[in-house]
Amino acid sequence: MSKVPGSAHLNLTFGGLVLLGGAMGYLRKGSQISLLAGLTFGSLLLGSGYMISRDQEYKGHVLATGTSGIMALGMGHRFLTTQKFMPAGLVAVLAAATCAYNANKSMEWAPTKSD
């Protein structure tokens, strides 16, 4: 059985998908921006999952909230300008859901005044 906490799974999965998506954008269209963004944001999300699994839950969720929030805004803007759901709209929706989940978890794991 996995010792990775359940709250890390979303970030690890989404981070892996973002990495794959960036690589696919590069391989299919030659987009270096897709590759760079996929590597950057995917690595940050994977890093947040790692932090959560290493008892740094609050910091990991805060990192994932910021990362996925930036992705949601950027890809949401791209979707609104292109009106193409794939991939921008799908990534915007997934990133917004990931942001909301991690924001909620950040509040749950926030240090109290006695900490």
Tens of pLDDT, residue by residue over 40-82, are: 999 999 999 999 999 999 999 999 999 999 999 999 999 999 9
The overall average pLDDT reported for the chain is: 95
- Rounded Cα gap, residues 28 and 45, in angstroms: 23
Sign of CA dihedral 107, 67, 53, 19: positive
What are the residues whose beta carbons fall under 8 Å from the beta carbon of 3, sequence distance 6 or more?
A: 53
Q: What is the pLDDT of residue 115?
A: 60
| Residue 5 pLDDT level (bands cut at 50, 70, 90) | confident
Q: What is the pLDDT of residue 96?
A: 98
| CA-based R_g, the chain, Å | 15
Asked if pLDDT for residue 7 goes beyond 80, the answer is yes
Instruction: At 70, list the tokens.
Output: 């930036």
% of the chain at pLDDT higher than 90: 90
Full-model pTM? 0.93
Sign of CA dihedral 70, 72, 76, 78: positive
For helices 32-53 and 6-29, the axis angle rounded to 10 degrees is 170
